[in-house]
Amino acid sequence: MTEVFLNGDFETIEDACVSAMDAGLLLGAGLFETLRAYDRTVFRIDDHLQRLFASAQALEIPIALAADQIADALAETLDRNGLDDARCRITVTRGALPGEVGAEARPTCLVTAGVMTPYDEQLYARGMTVTVSDATVNPSDPTAGHKTTAYMTNLLVLRDAHARGAQEALRLNTRGRLCEGAISNVFLVRQGRLLTPPLEEGCLPGVTRKVVLEIARREGIDAAEESIAGPDLLKADELFLTNTIMEVMPVCRIERHPVGNETVGPITQRLMRLYREQVESEIR
């Protein structure tokens, strides 16, 4: 029977519940982190928790537990459910708003973990197809760059991509520049340079994005965070996506337009390999 950690206690998933007045439920006033465990070790958990607490401070969402308590709770969640390779999630919400009648004031912290279902290996071999969404990101939105539980726009953008035969959707911002994917960060290679949008464009400061930049700079790859105009996507020699679950995912088609020669490019292949080596090194 699956167990989850909720506000300091472990409960079965059937028994765990939050207040009906929780602002996370009513208003989307919450944050979440998706993490990946390899051999019962969560990769870059410190980076995930640092991002979570930074967003909580910026958006004034209280977290009742310290970072090390949440890390311990996640480790025990994996143990209690007998999970080695797992998809994990930390969710924190505002709790009840002040003045709500009969509501508990405490914020919510929920930690869950489930069996890891990886992406199809054929996608890594042949590359994804992506669309470009009409739903733009507003960098001046105070929630831009934060992983909030108000995630409906991302899901609708992704659903539209799936309906059009693609696996992910790229999003421009209101300035017409590349921002991010519905559930990923975006990198492109042009004339030997590795580029990704800077955080000022409104994209999420992805943990996998950070690792890829670290690896690229260590390995002498010319990597930079630079603004990328929307039309320049079609000039990319290589394109790939990153997130915690997909790791480094090549993209070979933007709708009907091939990227490069429509095969996984050499820099993408190299970073795919180096990223997995980095994971193996750190979890050991």
Place of tokens 């025990």: 76
Assign domain 3-115 to a CATH class. Answer: alpha beta
CATH code at 121-283:
3.20.10.10
Q: Tens digits of per-residue pLDDT, 133-156?
A: 999 999 999 999 999 999 999 999
Read off the pLDDT band of 101 (50, 70, 90): low
Q: For 107-139, write each residue's pLDDT tens digit.
A: 999 999 999 999 999 999 999 999 999 999 999
User: In this structure, what token pair is assigned to residue 134?
Assistant: 């009409």
* Runs of H (alpha helix) within the chain: 23-27, 45-59, 67-80, 121-126, 152-163, 207-218, 266-283
Whole-number Å distance between alpha carbons of 72 and 36 = 15
Q: Where are the domains of the chain?
A: 3-115, 121-283
The pTM of this model reads 0.95
C-beta separation of 129 from 252 below 8 A: yes
Report residue 191 as tokens. 């004339």
Q: Tell me what pLDDT residue 222 has.
A: 97
Quick one: what percent of the chain has pLDDT higher than 90?
A: 94
Q: What pLDDT sits at residue 98?
A: 72
Location of structure tokens 């953008």: 157
pLDDT of the residue at 20: 87
pLDDT of residue 102: 52
Q: What is the pLDDT of residue 105?
A: 63
Q: Which one-letter amino acid corresponds to residue 131?
A: T
Backbone angles phi, psi at 20, to 5 degrees: -65, -15
Banded pLDDT at 57 (limits 50, 70, 90): very high
The edge-to-edge listing of strands for the beta sheet with 30-38 is 9-12, 3-6, 108-115, 86-93, 30-38, 41-42
Do the bridges between strand 247-254 and strand 128-132 make them parallel or antiparallel, or are there none, so unpaired? parallel
pLDDT higher than threshold 70 for residue 269: yes
Render pLDDT for 183-239 as a digit per residue (tens, 0 to 9): 999 999 999 999 999 999 999 999 999 999 999 999 999 999 999 999 999 999 999
Q: Scanning the structure block, which residue is given the tokens 């955080």?
A: 199
Is 196 exposed, middle or buried (CB count within 10 Å of its CB: 0-12, 13-18, 19+)?
buried
